[in-house]
Chain A
């Protein structure tokens, strides 16, 4: 039975604790676009048709094993903050919210224990998606593939013998598959190698964008890399290709980091510790500033220049330091200035609590400078 409008709680955040070892790749995502036969695509459909699509998908979802004890959230009946929280968690796109002029009949159905689910009535009737921590494209694809098989037997899908699965935008036709990885590559940015790498990515049929998807700026050295084409190759080929290229980018990032450690250890160390110091003590933090500082600390943790905080804590701050999450926690709407103050306080508390955990468990705390300040950094050789 699919539950309706359950509290969002920790929904869709399981990626935060995955892939901790490889702090370079934060998460892997796979989505496939599908449409129902016999209905105009959502952008061309009226509210009634979109309602009927939603009802059909909801009924099918009741019978899909992958969505056992799933929850559904209809965006028309969610409050503003919950909608924004879903966007901030990358569980729905802003497009799903519609323009507010008529009921969007958009919805998210999310499995109970994973971040695998379906967005209904976005640009296409169905966007099946899975989000997994670390570089785990194959695991994400398996979840989506399984859900696709289940729903495909329950719903009549729009399919063309030559073009494959049909979508509202011709750029998604065929497999309908978009696989992406969220990757943190400050080494390549600092060594100014990044433009070469991004150019290489574009030349092999992949594309990149910022943390918040299409059209968003790159902040905090977080990039999303994804396949550009969806037709003419198998789903497995598209995923393997992205995984292989991501592996190469990780390799380049590692070598950029060792160059930095070798050539400019003091500068690097200073950057990392300053970032930590500001996050740990600031009284007002804008989102972009927080993202950039988190990037510095993440680099420090990854290079073992800092022994705390944990990568998991950094991931959590990345998500919960966003404005809708802060508003939900504070229980009210905030202006920009209030949000910056609230964000700084949230970050200080998180880092302090991580430090306490670290000292209790014997990990050296990030604010204790015994590890690196007294001698050359570990990789400085």
Chain B
């Protein structure tokens, strides 16, 4: 059986996730599984419970070529946080840290959350592009549907107007 992610390699890792009453299964090759932060022996459930923060801290401190290439050994240019600050506090210092340490954080987030892609509410600012706008629209439509279902008509009316406004602008 081929890997569900790349469709090229043979699947070696089988992931079963249960969300509510819905069960889903994914077959992955070893490298795609690693990409998702899943090791063969710990690939159960939707959120791997191995302490990923500590692993990440280890990576940050290391001098592996990948880490240096991504600039992880340099302090964040905005807040000045270093790998060792992060190691001791377990917190990043500012929003720019997410850009500075992006490649490492991406792996860490996937291991903590089972995903590295936000799919909730979209916040629009000056750097937003068309896909953010589309994301915002679909998030608003989802919330409109829910507002109607829960008979929150005040919110529903507001959302309907906002959606209309965005569609007209587009």
Q: Chain A nearest CB: distance from B116 CB in Å?
A: 7
Q: A138-B150, A145-B143 are in contact. Are A163 and B98 (CB under 8 A)?
A: yes
List residues of chain B with CB within 8 A of the CB of A177.
120
Cβ contact of A142, chosen from B53, B113, B114, B155, cutoff 8 A: B155
Beyond A170-B92, A204-B19, is A163–B119 a contact (Cβ under 8 Å)? no
Q: Report which residue of A44, A175, A229, A233 has the largest number of chain B beta carbons within 10 angstroms of its beta carbon.
A: A44
Within 8 A of B (CB), among A141-156: 142, 145-146, 148, 152, 156
In the assembled complex, A61 has its CB within 8 A of some CB on chain B = no
Contact residue among A40, A233, A241 (Cβ-Cβ distance under 8 Å from B119): A233
| Chain A residues whose C-beta falls within 8 Å of the C-beta of B120 in the assembled complex | 164, 174-175, 177, 233-235
Chain B 26-59: CB-based contact to A (< 8 A → 1; otherwise 0): 0000000000000000000111010001000000
Q: Which residue of B lies closest to A44 (CB)?
A: B93
Q: Are A232 and B117 in contact (CB under 8 A)?
A: yes
Closest to A164 in B: B118
Inter-chain contact B155/A232, CB cutoff 8 Å: no
In the complex, A379 has a CB within 8 A of chain B: no
Interface residues of B in 104-160 (CB under 8 A from A): 105-106, 108-109, 112-121, 123, 125, 127-129, 131-132, 139, 142-143, 146, 150, 152, 155
Q: How far is the CA of A244 from the CA of B49 in the complex (A)?
A: 22
A161-B129, A232-B115 in contact; A40/B94 too (CB < 8 A)? yes
The reply to whether A159 and B125 contact each other, CB–CB distance below 8 Å, is yes
Docked CA distance A35–B92 (Å):
12
Against A, the Cβ 8 Å flags (1 = close, 0 = not) of B83-107 are 0000001111111001100000110
Interface centre among B18, B98, B105 (most CB of A within 10 A): B98
State the main secondary structure of chain B at its contact with A. Answer: loop
A170: chain B residues at CB < 8 Å are: 53, 92, 105, 108-109, 112
User: In whole angstroms, what is the CA distance A230 to B116 when docked?
Assistant: 10
Residues on the A chain within 8 Å of B78, using CB: 40
What sequence of 0s and 1s flags, for each residue 228-258 of chain A, a beta carbon within 8 Å of any chain B beta carbon? 1111111110001100110000000000000
Task: Report if A319 contacts B (CB, 8 A).
Answer: no
Q: Is the CB of A163 within 8 A of B90?
A: no
Cα of A171 to Cα of B91 in the assembled complex, Å? 9
State the CA gap A165–B114 with chains docked (Å). Answer: 17
Min CB gap A40→B, angstroms: 4
Residues of B within 8 A of A241 (CB): 19-20
Given the interface contacts A41-B91, A162-B117, A170-B108, does A236 sit within 8 Å of B20 by beta carbon? no
Which residue of B is nearest A32, CB measured?
B121
Q: Who on chain B is nearest to A156 by CB?
A: B125
B112 touches A229 (CB 8 A): yes
Contact among B98, B108, B121, B127 for A166, CB-based, below 8 A: B98
Are B114 and A158 within 8 A (Cβ)? no
In the bound assembly, the distance between CA atoms of A171 and B51 in angstroms comes to 11
Contact of B132 among A161, A163, A202, A204 (CB under 8 A): A161
Contact at B118–A163, with CB atoms within 8 Å? yes
Query: In the complex, what residue of chain B is closest to A231 when comparing beta carbons?
Result: B113
Measured CA separation A233–B113 after assembly (Å):
9
Q: Does residue B81 face the partner (Cβ distance < 8 Å to A)?
A: yes
CA distance A164 to B132 in the complex (A): 11
Flag if B94 contacts A231 (CB, 8 Å): no
Within 8 Å of chain A (Cβ to Cβ): is B1? no
A44 touches B142 (CB 8 A): no
Check: B70 CB closer than 8 A to any chain A CB.
no
Least Cβ–Cβ distance between A271 and chain B, in angstroms: 35
Q: Is B6 an interface residue (CB 8 A)?
A: no
B66 near A: Cβ within 8 Å?
no
State in angstroms the CA–CA spacing of A122 and B11 once bound together. Answer: 45
- Determine how close the nearest CB of chain B comes to the CB of A101; give it in whole angstroms: 16
User: Which of chain B's residues has its CB closest to A233's CB?
Assistant: B119
Contact partners of B127 in chain A: CB under 8 A: 161
With A203-B18, A232-B115 known as contacts, the answer to whether A173 contacts B150 (CB < 8 A) is no
B79 within 8 A of A: yes
Given contacts A44-B94, A166-B98, contact A231 B89 (CB under 8 A): no
Chain B residues within 8 Å of A, Cβ to Cβ: 18-21, 45-47, 49, 53, 78-79, 81, 89-95, 98-99, 105-106, 108-109, 112-121, 123, 125, 127-129, 131-132, 139, 142-143, 146, 150, 152, 155
21 residue pairs A–B, Cβ–Cβ below 8 Å? A41-B91, A142-B150, A142-B155, A146-B155, A157-B123, A157-B125, A160-B95, A163-B105, A163-B116, A166-B95, A173-B98, A173-B109, A173-B113, A174-B120, A204-B18, A205-B46, A229-B115, A231-B116, A232-B119, A233-B120, A240-B20
List 5 A-B pairs, minimum CB-CB distance, nearest first. Answer: A232-B115, A164-B118, A158-B95, A44-B93, A231-B113
Q: Could you list 8 further interchain pairs (A-B, Cβ under 8 angstroms) beyond the known A202-B49, A231-B113? A: A161-B129, A161-B131, A162-B116, A174-B118, A204-B46, A231-B118, A232-B117, A233-B115
